[in-house]
Chains A and B, each alone.
Chain A
Amino acid sequence: MSARLAYEAATVGYPGVTVVRDATLGVAPGEVVGLIGPNGAGKSTLLRAVTGAARVSAGRIILSGEPLDTLGPRERARIVGVVPQTVSAAFAFSAREFVLMGRHPHLGRLQHVSASDIALAEEVMERTDTLRLADEPVDTLSGGDLQRLALAQALAQQPSVLLLDEATSHLDLNHRLQVLDLVRDLADGGLAVLAVFHDLDLAARFSDRLGVVAEGSLGPIGSPPEVLTAPLLAQVFGVRAVVGTDAVTGAVAVTPVLREEAVTGDRCGRVLVVGGSGTAAPLLRRLHLAGYEVAAAALNRGDVDQAVAEALGLERVDLPAFGEIDARAEAEVVRMAAAADAVVVCEVPFGRANLGNLRALGRAAARSVLIGEFGPEREFSGGEATDVVARLVSAGAVTVVDSGEALAEVERLTCACGPHSDR
């Protein structure tokens, strides 16, 4: 189906300022397209260009088959409804009167709102959960109520294109989902929706496609899993993130791990971390932030520690999901242990699958730090792991109670290399 709203190589901005160059994007009926990107990248400007609040200086925008500049404001307002980020209501109109203002483009010059206009207004108020506020003066309502009233006002325009500019920013959790579910429903009913999101998880959950606005241009555009990748998030937002799948909604879920520019520590030295099942994730992050060169011993794909290590870009040995450490992987870990100034073994249980990580530390025992006593609750290898740990301890490995103490031990083990020595 052809697009209801199409940007054709549109360059948008304000007098004397170009904000987004050469944007090309089509939004079809029934589709929700989300725009994501850093603050100030021009997401809102792209929306504002549709209602004439920002200028199109090159290319063009097509609305329902008509070039935007051939449409008068009233015609345009019968096609496009907008829900702005903030709604101002300084004057004491009732909520019903406020919503009825959305009927303006459909009313003649001296025509008054009719019973059917009022019925329509009350219907959209019902759908946005604002009908109970109908007789309240809008200047006494909360930001969240106003935002839902603005949606009702936009729906009273009976638009075929809906623009949402961070339209759930003032809503509580319940109303946010309610409004976005409603928008999804409306889209399924044939509305074309273009929405600016700050929340990447919401964007992924409610959008059919996502467009990235960054550094003055629009693109890449694609399905949420295509667009929301760790390298893109690092490039666009400067954030190392774990991109996974939300266990409940099945949508792409983004968990930021750290900001690119946040690595400020001046520690040096190489640290190998043996972890798994999330026991190492916080330590990996802290060591990385402190400035150490961190490596992770063998981890299964799908493990939280593996995802964090990948997001942080650490040297590591990846195993297939549920795979065991084979001879080749163990040899890798041996090599990493030999190169490390310090080795930290987190409070992970050991079984047949990951025993290799422990065995590989034999020659680095004197530089090893074990977090927590190794008790039967961590022994799943029939006693073999207990023997290996005993050998490590007798060869000089230190046991500490928590990761705080482990950090202190790491500092002690790496201090020989000095703050700026280059290995």
Chain B
Amino acid sequence: MPVPTRVRRATVIVVLLAVLAASMLVAIGFGAVSVGPPDIGRAIARAITGEARAAGDAVIVDLRLPRVILAALVGACLASAGVLYQALFRNPLADPYILGMSAGAGLGAVIALTATASATALRFGVVPAGAFVGAVLTIVVVVRLASMRGTLDVTSLLLAGVALSYVLAALTSFVMVFFRESMASVVFWMMGGLTAASWPYVFMVAPMLAAGLAVPMSATRELNLMLLGEERAGELGVDVERFKRLLLAAGALLVAGAVSVSGLIGFVGLMTPHMVRLIIGPDHRLLLPASAIGGAIVMVLADLAARTVLAPVEIPVGIVTALVGGPFFIWLLVRRNGHR
């Protein structure tokens, strides 16, 4: 198979976008009230042109549409972050959770959430900022711990990440116990859910996704070179230390975006890039955008399942992704061991 041509890349992206659009239409249509694609189209058209709303429009435009879009954005954030960390650590098992960044973002978000419990208007700015600060601080501490023996090597980085995750989870529980009155909502948020979805959330996450993807999308060749190992990447002209910091920051932004609106949702960042890589290969020029779209599709469908399987009861979407992703993770582990 030669170098992926533009045509091949364009085809893969177009197909994935079509699948995403179809999934979103299905997800918008399903619910307590079923809506067909023509009605969805008309409702959106009316909302865009400012025409007077029809009877069912509010459900579509104010509830389902922002929720489905938010699911897509969160999925894209998580899968892209997974791609970045898997390249950075040359390990298809790496993702934001193993590094402790999700836990760090979670703690930051919980602190922000409890600190501003009375002033909900602040939350949109404060919670993602808290999550970002939490994710960045976590990775800074993890990197410091891991590089105490000199250069930053991958094994100690993963170990430090796992160790710090435990500490952060304990601190999060401590904060929650301390602020009992908001514990129920925090616990529900921690399990990962999109129940609170609304347009302001969408407008908050979208730029975080765009910013978090812009840097790595302009450095896909460096991402490929990182797969050869840090030393080899350096020999071939990559400013490795600087690039790693850039990737960690971009990943932190993506993780913060996802965590601050939907809590801790696992396995999307691990599973999606892996499946996409199996199909289209390891080249990041295609892998990164394809995984972002793939993550969006996975998340839209997972959220659809979360709110329809036991309707009218809604399950946190994190439980759905864990139920699917956990066995997938185990399968990966077994397969890797089989190779040895």
- Say yes or no: A104 contacts B236, CB within 8 Å: yes
Closest to A16 in B: B150
Residues of B within 8 A of A97 (CB): 3, 283
Interface size class of A (residues with CB under 8 A): 35 or more
Given A88-B228, A93-B224, A100-B3, are A105 and B236 neighbors across the interface (CB < 8 Å)? yes
List chain B residues, Cβ under 8 A from A105: 236-237
Closest to B221 in A: A104
- Closest chain-B Cβ to A5's Cβ sits at a distance in Å of 14
> Would B282 and A93 count as touching, CB distance under 8 A?
yes
Q: Is A102 an interface residue (CB 8 A)?
A: yes
Q: Which residues of A contact B224 (CB under 8 A)?
A: 93, 101
- Indicate whether B62 reaches chain A with its CB closer than 8 angstroms: no
User: B240 to chain A: which residues have CB within 8 Å?
Assistant: 73
For window 205-236 of B, CB contacts with A under 8 Å fall at: 218-219, 221-222, 224-225, 227-229, 231-232, 234-236
- Cβ < 8 Å to B, chain A residues 53-81: 53, 72-74, 76-78, 80-81
**Do the beta carbons of B3 and A102 come within 8 Å of each other?**
no
Quick check: is A109 within 8 A (CB to CB) of the other chain?
yes
B1: A residues at CB distance < 8 A: 94, 135
Residues of B within 8 A of A72 (CB): 239
Residues of B within 8 A of A16 (CB): 150
**Assuming the A-B contacts A51-B235, A77-B235, A92-B282, are A101 and B2 also in contact, with contact meaning beta carbons closer than 8 angstroms in the complex?**
no
Would you call B46 an interface residue if the criterion is a C-beta within 8 Å of the partner chain's C-beta atoms?
no
Instruction: Please name all residues of chain B whose beta carbon is closer than 8 Å to the beta carbon of A101 when the two chains form the complex.
Output: 221, 224-225, 228, 236
Give the interface SS of chain B, mostly helix, strand, loop or mixed: loop
- Residues of chain B within 8 A of A248, CB atoms compared: none
- Bound complex: CA A289 to CA B225 (Å): 53
Instruction: Output the nearest chain B residue to A117 by Cβ-Cβ distance.
Output: B3
Whether a CB of chain A sits under 8 angstroms from the CB of B144 is: no
B141 at the interface (CB under 8 A from A): no
Which residue among B2, B3, B281 has the maximum number of chain A CB atoms within 10 Å of its CB?
B3
Q: Is the CB of B232 within 8 A of A84?
A: yes
- Given A51-B235, A104-B236, A157-B236, A90:B90 Cβ within 8 A: yes
A322 within 8 A of B: no
A89 to B229, CA, bound (A): 9
The answer to whether A77 and B231 have CB atoms under 8 Å apart is no
Interface assignment of B238: CB less than 8 Å from any CB of chain A: yes
Bound form: Cα–Cα A349–B148 in Å? 69
Question: With A89-B228, A90-B227 as given contacts, are A113 and B234 in contact (CB-CB < 8 Å)?
Answer: no
Knowing A77-B235, A92-B281, the reply to whether A104 touches B225 (Cβ < 8 A) is: yes
Q: Closest CB of chain A to B235's CB: distance in Å?
A: 4
Query: By the criterion CB–CB under 8 Å, are A88 and B229 in contact?
Result: yes
Interface contact B150-A104, CB-CB below 8 Å = no
**B190: min CB distance to chain A, Å:** 34
Chain B residues engaging chain A, CB cutoff 8 angstroms: 1-3, 90, 150-151, 218-219, 221-222, 224-225, 227-229, 231-232, 234-240, 281-283
Q: A15-B151, A52-B234, A72-B239 are in contact. List 12 more A-B contacts (CB 8 A).
A: A14-B150, A48-B231, A51-B234, A53-B231, A73-B237, A73-B240, A88-B232, A90-B90, A90-B227, A93-B281, A100-B3, A109-B218
